[in-house]
Amino acid sequence: MAAMISSWNSEKKHSDVERWICIYPAYLNSKKTLAEGRRLPKKYCVENPTHQEIRDVLVTTGLRVGVENKLYPRERSKEMTYRGRIRVQIKNDDGTPLKPEFATREDVMRYIGDSIPKMKTRQNRPADQQPQTTQASNKSKGKKGRR
């Protein structure tokens, strides 16, 4: 039980995991509304980010990153693809930023939103699949229910 994260305490150092910022994939999901948990404007967000993508982007920055098997409380779907909470240390014990370009939580989230589309896994996705599914769903809507 000693390894569990305890409630917030001002005595804790910024290097303690409890003081690290939390980022859920929903914060950066352009498909979600602000009420559903998106925290940034859509122009900084990506479509359906995963906790693995967020972790991979943050590991390359040199920041200390941790992954927890948590589900965002506002998430309606209980699927594994929506699971995951990322914890990131952005401050030294004296309260100064570890890296000046990541001084705030918003700086970190904007960097993630900018970096995920550049990942090889995102660039190798067939681009023609998405418009076909959109067109197919539009055709199936038709005039169903209108008379």
Hey, which bits of 37-95 come out as E strands?
A: 65-71, 83-88
Q: What share of the chain is helix, strand, coil (3-state, %, to 5)?
A: 40, 15, 50
Residue 52 lies inside a defined structural domain of this protein = yes
Residue 112 lies inside a defined structural domain of this protein = yes
Residue 113 DSSP SS3: helix
Residue 128 lies inside a defined structural domain of this protein = no
- Residue 9 pLDDT: 66
Residue 138 lies inside a defined structural domain of this protein = no
Number of folded domains that form the chain: 1
Sole residue written with tokens 């995102």: 122
Residue 9 lies inside a defined structural domain of this protein = no
Low-confidence winner among 71-75, 90-94, 96-100, 125-129 (lowest mean pLDDT): 125-129
DSSP secondary structure string, 13-25?
Answer: -TTSGGGSEEE-G
Cβ neighbours of 135 (radius 10 Å): 10
Q: Is the pLDDT score of 40 beyond 70?
A: yes
Range of the domain at 38: 17-123
For the entire predicted model, the pTM comes to: 0.72
Q: Quick one: pLDDT band at residue 10, thresholds 50, 70, 90?
A: low
Low-confidence winner among 5-9, 19-23, 45-49 (lowest mean pLDDT): 5-9
Between strands 83-88 and 21-23, the pairing is: antiparallel
Average pLDDT of 9-15?
72
Residue 21 lies inside a defined structural domain of this protein = yes
Q: Quick one: pLDDT band at residue 131, thresholds 50, 70, 90?
A: very low
Residue 129 lies inside a defined structural domain of this protein = no
Q: For 53-75, how does the pLDDT look when each residue is reduced to its tens digit (9 = 90+)?
A: 999 999 999 889 999 988 888 88
Cβ neighbours of 20 (radius 10 Å): 20
Residue 94 sits in a domain whose CATH number is: 3.30.56.30
Tell me which of 97 and 135 has the higher pLDDT: 97
d(CA 121, CA 144): 38
Residue 66 DSSP SS3: strand
Average pLDDT of 33-44?
91
Residue 139 lies inside a defined structural domain of this protein = no
Task: Please say whether the beta carbons of 23 and 108 come within 8 A.
Answer: yes
Average pLDDT of 117-136?
61
Residue 86 DSSP SS3: strand
